[in-house]
Amino acid sequence: MISRLVPGTFFGVTLAFSLLMTAVFAFAANGQEPLPQETLLIRSGEAEHRFLVEVAATDIERARGLMFREEMAADHGMLFIFEGEGERFFWMKNTPLPLDIIYIDNAGHIVSIAADTTPFSETVIPSGKPARFVLEVNAGIAEKLEIKVGDQISSPSMHAE
């Protein structure tokens, strides 16, 4: 017997899966254990800037990121940690906060900055160069603090090997 897909079945399954995953992430954002936090330091010229960051180090934590967050203190952020360096691609789907996305190499140097990203956008935002860490802060912070490519970033999780 040959089975056939009913027209629209794939779309229906995909839509159902999408809705389920959105519900799972919404629940996770609101009802899951908070992520570990630590102090992160950015050295930009003679200036030093400290942030309290949540650390997203697992696939599930990185996938959730700052989704569904509607506010974040100016001196807070989220640090994403990956196993090794590589091209990184982020997007703003389900993220209502405009963000600066700062890509960081294995040595802790900023390799690129995507400033003032668009909330809810599904446009892919590439690092452009290999990155191992990604820092998300409120939009406009990088410009306000004159944070630029080449600046040094450090935190306990970035040095834990």
Summarised one tens digit per residue, pLDDT across range 93-141 is 999 999 999 999 999 999 999 999 999 999 999 999 999 999 999 999 9
Number of domains in the chain: 1
Residue 90's pLDDT band (cuts 50, 70, 90): very high
The answer as to whether 83 is a domain residue is yes
The answer as to whether 8 is a domain residue is no
Cα end-to-end distance, the chain, whole Å: 55
Residue 77 has pLDDT above 70, yes or no: yes
Q: How far apart are CA 46 and CA 58, in angstroms?
A: 34
Q: How far apart are CA 79 and CA 65, in angstroms?
A: 9
Residue 4's pLDDT band (cuts 50, 70, 90): very low
Helices and strands: H and E segment counts in the chain: 4, 9
Instruction: Report angle CA 72, 80, 58 to the nearest 5 degrees.
Output: 115
Residue 73 has pLDDT above 80, yes or no: yes
pLDDT tens digits, 7-54: 444 434 444 444 444 444 444 445 568 999 999 999 999 999 999 999
The domain that holds 70 is classified in CATH as 2.60.120.1140
Which residue range(s) make up the domain with 48? Answer: 36-159
**b/e per residue, 15-50, with b = 16+ CB within 10 A?**
eeeeeeeeeebeebeeeeeebeeeebebebeeeebe
* Cβ-Cβ contacts under 8 Å for 33 (sequence gap 6 or more): none
| Alpha carbon separation from 101 to 84, 105, 131 (Å, rounded) | 18, 13, 12
CA proximity to 5, closest of 134, 56, 13, 126: 13
The answer as to whether 17 is a domain residue is no
The pLDDT of residue 24 is 46
